[in-house]
Amino acid sequence: DAKTTQPTSMDCAEGRAANLPCNHSTISGNEYVYWYRQIHSQGPQYIIHGLKNNETNEMASLIITEDRKSSTLILPHATLRDTAVYYCIVSYGRGGSTLGRLYFGRGTQLTVWP
Amino acid sequence: GAVVSQHPSRVICKSGTSVKIECRSLDFQATTMFWYRQFPKKSLMLMATSNEGSKATYEQGVEKDKFLINHASLTLSTLTVTSAHPEDSSFYICSALSLAASTYEQYFGPGTRLTVT
């Protein structure tokens, strides 16, 4: 079962930063926070993941609160191609009994408008 | 980046027939692959974990005799929907975990849309 809550939908103007929140108040100490996105009728795409520290890659930044009960995915300069459903998932990754299984919640539909 | 392919991308079959869907990791080895299904306007639902050389592990409520999974090599897993019925019509997506120890992300295939008439 999904252990995260996200807003159902969000809008963002093209070129502006998109900040997508996620609550995961029951996260365990060894669970990672993963973000994936799914563009309509395609397979999900990995964006970023983190454990405790903030992370940044070429796609996005991930800010995790100190108590790890929530996080924010930041797309610094959103484009029309960033319109997608964004999923925040907590998982043990490769380790643990769940061996990398991902349980998707409803996600956030991000719409970037011109 | 790591690429996962699925074949076919679309399939239409008659009720009562079986359909096989292939999932391949093209440029990396994967001891573990996963199968998901997704209904229109719904989220992905994990069906099973496919392990190379061993039996698949099915999620609660997923019929293992209905959805046969075979993971014969480090780059190929197959899902066979047996005796398909219209309610099996869905978008089936696979993913693969890279064998590389430093990799924690899953790579997803493009999906297979199954329509049972």
Q: What is the pLDDT of residue B31?
A: 80
Would you place residue B62 in the very low, low, confident or very high pLDDT band (cuts 50, 70, 90)? very high
Closest partner CB to A46 (pick from B6, B32, B105): B105
Q: What is the mean pLDDT of chain B?
A: 91
Asked if residue B103 has pLDDT above 80, the reply is: no
What token pair was written down for B15? 């009720």
Q: What is the pLDDT of residue A6?
A: 97
What residues pair up with A91 in beta bridges, in sequence order? A32
Please check whether residue A104 is in contact with residue A89, taking contact to mean a CB–CB distance below 8 angstroms.
yes
DSSP letter at B59? P
Amino acid at A51: L
pLDDT along chain A (114 residues), means of 10: 89 97 92 93 92 94 96 97 96 67 93 97
What is the average per-residue pLDDT within B78-95? 97
Q: What is the pLDDT of residue B58?
A: 95
Q: What is the pLDDT of residue A95?
A: 59
CA-nearest residue of chain A to B43?
A106
Asked if residue B1 has pLDDT above 70, the reply is: no
B107/A102 Cβ within 8 A? no
Say yes or no: B115 contacts chain A, CB-CB below 8 A: no
Asked if residue B108 has pLDDT above 80, the reply is: yes
3 state SS of B104: coil
Nearest alpha carbon to residue B78 among B39, B57, B50: B50
Asked if residue B8 has pLDDT above 70, the reply is: yes
Dihedral angle of Cα B46, B50, B54, B59, to the nearest 10 degrees: 0
CA distance A114 to chain B (A): 24
Q: State the SS3 of A48-65.
A: EEECCCCEECCCCEEEEC
What token pair was written down for B98? 């890279």
Asked if residue B99 has pLDDT above 70, the reply is: no
Mutation test of the interface with chain A: which of B108, B112, B113, B114, choosing the one with the most A Cβ atoms within 10 A? B108
Say yes or no: B14 contacts chain A, CB-CB below 8 A: no
Q: What is the pLDDT of residue B94?
A: 97
Q: What is the pLDDT of residues B40-56, one digit of tens each?
A: 989 999 999 988 888 89
